[in-house]
Each structure stands twice: as structure tokens, then as C-alpha cells.
Amino acid sequence: MFPISKFDWNGFAYPIPVMKPFEAAALADQILRFQHVEPEKAARAFGTNTHLLFPSLCAVIQREQILDAVEQVLGRNLLLWSASFFIKRPKTNSFVSWHQDSTYWGLEPPEIVTAWLALTPSNRENGCMEVVPGSHLRGQVSHYDTFGDENMLSRGQKVSVDISQEKTEAIELEAGQMSLHHVRIFHGSKPNPTDIPRIGFAMRFIPTQVKQKGGRTFAVLVRGQDVFNNFDRPTLPRAELGATEWEMHQESLKRMNTVLFNDAAQATKVKGHQILKTGEQFSPEKKKAEEQ
Ligand SMILES: O=C(O)CCC(=O)C(=O)O
């Protein structure tokens, strides 16, 4: 057991129950079906800030069970800065190199917690997340970018530490459970050689006093009050994948990429982190209007 009461010491906590397994399975099913039917569109949608495209996911980021846990670590005034999917389909090579989240996010101070919600079972066999307990106390460590093809991180960034010499912990979760991790914890995950998909929804929470360096990004006020106004408020989705929703999503990515890639040697290879080109969009309403 790694309880929330020991979060400051360990840098992570799990397992924390959030929803019933059947609820998680229904969300996972929706995602996998969408990926199967419209792979290109799904690749764009299930990268970063998917909560701006789906009302159902916007409800997830505001769930009481999640916020109650995050509040125990960060206090009662909470913003959701971003949310990303990490989907490993069965028998695929996608992996996450060992890294610290704080490396490129430009958020200060580093009081940021990720709530990683498992929508399918996530275990050693199908490539669950692994951490180095206590590594968040080592400060910011240098990283190098690999831009590896199968790496799920936007720059394929890797911490300059020999992880084979470290004691690691595999965060095994049932569908509907989540873990919390500190923005400076060393973490990563291996590929999924099994027949079981591994789907995680990673929600990044910050207390309202945190500041964004390098630009102004969006954040949703999910609990308490914000007297600092360090972030703009996004328009929350009313329809699934509607034209307005895509516009908001793209604007949020644009702003985020200004911060995350300002010193990057090359553009990201991760589809879900790329901004759509001018004229390229997925809104059926807009497409129809243009065709007429
Ligand atoms: O899903 C994974 O395997 C890694 C997730 C991750 O790097 C994160 O949530 O910060």
C-alpha cells in the first residue's frame, strides 16, 4: 500500500478507487470503438486535452473521488491544467521513456500532481506505469530528447539517470482505480505484448497559485476559488467533437505547444500533440458548409 498520507515522502500513491469497473469499461469501449472506426480522427482527439472534446471526459476531470484525493495533496483550490490519454493497444510497441513531467511544462513552483485513471486493467504484463519511489526529492534532473518513433512522449525525452541501478515500483491498477504521481517523480512504462489493451487517462492538477512560464495557457477551475488568475478559462464542451469543441481544443494545443516546444530541435511525432494544418479539420458541420 502506498497511501496518500505518505505522498510527500514517496512521490506517488495508489490504488485509489474512482469508478466501478463497468463504468471504466464503458469509457474504454467508447475509445477503442472510435479508434477502430476513425483512426486518424481518434489519434488527434486522444492526445492532449481530450476533456475539451467530450462532455463525458469533462465530467471525469471533475469527479469528486478524484478531486478529494488530489485535494489531500495540493489543497482545496484546484485547476486542471491538461489531460492526456496513454493508450497501448494489444501487441504494440508503444512505450514511455523514463522521465520527469516537470522537464518541459514550464510550471512553477513544481506543485503539480497527475491523477492517472486506469480504464482497463494496467499491470506488469500489459505495460503499467513504473516509478522510482522518492525520486521526486532529487530536484530537476537533466533530460535528452530522442523523438523515438514508438515513444509516446512528445519529445521522447529521457532522464539522464541509469534506471537499471534504481529500485522501481510497478503501479498495478484495476479498471476504475487511479494513482497519483508528483511532477518530479521518475516514471516510465514498457510496451504491451498482451491481448489486453492498456488505457490510462492522465489528468494534471495544479493549485491556483502555480504560474505558467513562456506563455498563457488554459486551465479549468475544478474546485474552490482562483484569486490568482494565472490561466485563461477554456470553454467546456457541450457536444461531442463539435466544431466549436475542435476549435477550443486546437487553441489549447497551440498555446501549450508554444510553451512545450519553444526550444525543441524538431516538431513532435505524436499525432495527438500536433496542431491541425490550416483548412484541415474534423468537424462534419464545417466540412458540409465548405462543400456547399
Ligand atoms: O501511461 C504511461 O505509461 C505513462 C504516463 C505518464 O508518463 C504520465 O502520466 O505522466
Residue with grid cell 476533456, as numbered in its chain: 51
Convert the pLDDT of each residue in 30-66 to its tens digit.
999 999 999 989 988 998 999 999 999 999 999 999 9
More confident of the two residues 206 and 154: 206
Grid cell, residue 144, equals 535528452
Convert the pLDDT of each residue in 82-121 to its tens digit.
999 999 999 999 999 999 999 989 999 999 999 999 999 9
C-alpha 29/C-alpha 121 separation (Å) is 13
Convert the pLDDT of each residue in 116-127 to its tens digit.
999 999 999 999
Give me the domains of the chain, ranges plus CATH numbers: 4-291 (2.60.120.620)
Determine how many CB atoms are found less than 10 A away from the CB of residue 251.
17
11 lines ligand 1 (CB under 6 A): no
C-alpha 148/C-alpha 204 separation (Å) is 24
Atom of ligand 1 nearest to the CA of 84: 9
Atom of ligand 1 nearest to the CA of 127: 3
Atom of ligand 1 nearest to the CA of 200: 1
Structure confidence at residue 145 as a pLDDT band (50, 70, 90): confident
Mean pLDDT on 233-261: 93
12 lines ligand 1 (CB under 6 A): no
pTM over 0.85? The answer is yes
